Structure 1
Amino acid sequence: MDRMPSWVRQHVAALRALLVLTVVTGVIYPLVATGVAQALLNDKANGSLIEKDGKVVGSALIGQSFTDANGNPMRRYFQSRPSAAGDGYDPTSTAAGNLGPEDVIDTLPDPNGADEAAKEGKQSLLTRVCARSKAVGELEGVSGARPYCAPDGVGAVLKVFPDRAVSVNQACPATPFMPTYEGLKVECAKPGEDYAAGRTVPIRGNAGTPSVPADAVTASGSGLDPDISAAYAELQAPRVARERGLAVEQVRALIAEHTTGRALGFMGEPAVNVLELNLALDRV
């Protein structure tokens, strides 16, 4: 080694360091971390997988949809909250919608649009919430009405001009959710027309306190939330009991068994794991 040029010795030392660090951080550390996790946190380390009849049917940490082949809710099961992760609860596409409370105006589908995006249109966050609330209300047999939502499940938003008002989320020939606004006739919106110059006026309406809980109409930040609120579970209990021929009290007892309390007794809200609850129902 002493006879080697200095630059060779430097490269040999660097190579030794690379090999040592590769073994320590790439082999020894992962094996130790995996061993500790398997020994102390076996279930969580393996993904908190849940089995039914010897087959893995999901994870207690990742939500999933309970719908048929056409995407319709399976009425025998409790439904999860909406998901913005890929096509729904996709762990490889975990994401939120990144839309805020000011996203209230739809891009209406325009058959004459310049591209596919214009032809398909795009729903605002408000209309998504309104449409989900209407659908949940119909499924559960309660009112799906909520503030700032039109009866047909779109955002109740006007664009107001000096001589007219336009219900921008209701495409013609729909009947506007209100006939007039401050003496101006309210018109339906024409796809492809630019209403940006108008004053945006969301209409609160008189819906009062919604019967459909917030988590039934909004996606979680990750899009993978496996839980729903106790209020949403309670709303679904009569429907599930009816479809399964069970007493509502029996279903409510199962909800209580699968409700977790607040973290450390004060953080967050009680939650119900949907997959575990549905599997418990199947065992009844």
Structure 2
Amino acid sequence: MLQHLRPALAVTALFTLLLGLAYPLAMTGIAEAVFPRQAEGSLLARADGSVFGSRWIGQHFEGPRYLHGRPSAAGSDGYDASASSGSNLGPLNETLIEAVKARAAVLRAEAPGATIPADAVTASASGLDPDISPEFARLQAPRIAAARGIGEADVRAVIDRHSEGRLFGFVGQPRVNVLAVNADLDSSAGAGVATQP
């Protein structure tokens, strides 16, 4: 029995060191050398160096001064990274239908006659989407401009500055990073970045 156990333990120890320690350390080192910003989490920081978020994790913003992200079903109040998930409600679920209708009613009151993009009223699968569609971002420009007392063209310019197209021209959808736009709006106004947890 011992002659069978010893090789098994040796192979387990070898692969634990190789695949559990050496390989992850090598990949981390390569990532840090080749893509340092991404390897560190694509963090966004204020002028004083304090980090206020990541480009890859959505945050909840309230108030008319800020670009709002997608609705979130992560946690009881949304955007809870410890409870990342969607609602798992099907398209015929009455709760989902009522939630979508309520979200659409708020947007129709804010922008009468506007076409409401799907991402404005539906939550993402993770509940932590950092991006929204350019259409949803532009729909919010008049509200943000009025609340900040600046021109709508200025708000649209900030949105356009943080808009990204499809990867390689055909992968994914065009998108706007909510946190980056809000940070830019706050820094342009000289108010610092007032992110909300």
Post-superposition shift, 1:141?
4.3
Post-superposition shift, 1:8?
2.4
Match of 1:55 among 36, 40, 50: 50
Read off the aligned partner of 2:103 and give its amino acid letter: R
Separation (CA, whole Å) in 2 of partners of 1:14 and 1:214: 55
Post-superposition shift, 1:9?
2.5
Post-superposition shift, 1:100?
2.0
Read off the aligned partner of 1:100 and give its amino acid letter: G
Where does residue 3 of structure 1 map in the other structure?
Answer: none
Separation (CA, whole Å) in 2 of partners of 1:265 and 1:101: 30
Q: Is the 8 A contact 2:73 2:127 kept in 1?
A: yes
Read off the aligned partner of 1:81 and give its amino acid letter: R
Q: Is the 8 A contact 2:111 2:139 kept in 1?
A: no
CA 1:274 to 1:14, structure 2 compared with 1: closer, same or farther past 3 Å? same
Determine helix, strand or coil for the equivalent of 1:77: coil
Read off the aligned partner of 1:263 and give its amino acid letter: L
Determine helix, strand or coil for the equivalent of 1:11: helix
Match of 1:221 among 112, 125, 143: 125
For these two proteins, the number of residue pairs brought into alignment is 186
Determine helix, strand or coil for the equivalent of 1:231: helix
Query: Counting strand residues as a fraction of each chain, which structure ranks higher?
Result: 1
Post-superposition shift, 1:58?
1.0
**Percent of aligned pairs sharing the same letter:** 47
Q: Which residues of structure 2 form unaligned runs of 5+?
A: 189-197
Post-superposition shift, 1:255?
1.0
Q: CA RMSD in A?
A: 1.7
Determine helix, strand or coil for the equivalent of 1:133: helix
Where does residue 163 of structure 2 map in the other structure?
Answer: 259
Choose 1 or 2 for highest CA Rg.
1
Match of 1:126 among 89, 97, 100: 97
Post-superposition shift, 1:218?
0.4
Determine helix, strand or coil for the equivalent of 2:67: coil
Match of 1:95 among 61, 85, 93: 85
Where does residue 142 of structure 1 map in the other structure?
Answer: 112
The superposition leaves residues 132-156 of structure 1 with CA deviations (integer Å, 9 ceiling, x where unpaired) of 1112333x2425xxxxxxxxxxxxx
Q: Which residues of structure 1 form unaligned runs of 5+?
A: 1-6, 68-73, 105-123, 144-209
Post-superposition shift, 1:126?
0.6
Read off the aligned partner of 1:96 and give its amino acid letter: G
Determine helix, strand or coil for the equivalent of 1:63: coil
Read off the aligned partner of 1:26 and give its amino acid letter: G
The superposition leaves residues 250-273 of structure 1 with CA deviations (integer Å, 9 ceiling, x where unpaired) of 111111111001122123331110
Is 2:3 the counterpart of 1:9? yes
Is 2:132 the counterpart of 1:234? no
